[in-house]
Amino acid sequence: DAGVIQSPRHEVTEMGQEVTLRCKPISGHDYLFWYRQTMMRGLELLIYFNNNVPIDDSGMPEDRFSAKMPNASFSTLKIQPSEPRDSAVYFCASSDPFSGTGFDNEQFFGPGTRLTVL
Partner 1 sequence: DAKTTQPTSMDCAEGRAANLPCNHSTISGNEYVYWYRQIHSQGPQYIIHGLKNNETNEMASLIITEDRKSSTLILPHATLRDTAVYYCIALDISNFGNEKLTFGTGTRLTIIP
Q: What residue ranges bind partner 1 (CB under 8 A)?
A: 4, 31, 33, 42-45, 48, 50, 55-56, 91, 93, 95, 97, 103-112
Q: Smallest distance from the beta carbon of 75 to partner 1, in angstroms?
A: 15
Buried b (16+ CB within 10 A) or exposed e, 50-87: eeeeeeeeeebeeeebebebeebbebebebeebeeebb
The 3-state DSSP class for residue 86 equals helix
Complex with partner 1: residue 9 or 14, whichever CB lies closer: 9
DSSP H stretches of helix in 1-100: none
Q: What is the rounded distance in angstroms from the CA atom of residue 15 to the CA atom of residue 60?
A: 19
Q: Smallest distance from the beta carbon of 19 to partner 1, in angstroms?
A: 19
Complex with partner 1: residue 9 or 85, whichever CB lies closer: 9
Q: Smallest distance from the beta carbon of 51 to partner 1, in angstroms?
A: 12
Q: Smallest distance from the beta carbon of 85 to partner 1, in angstroms?
A: 20
Complex with partner 1: residue 59 or 81, whichever CB lies closer: 59
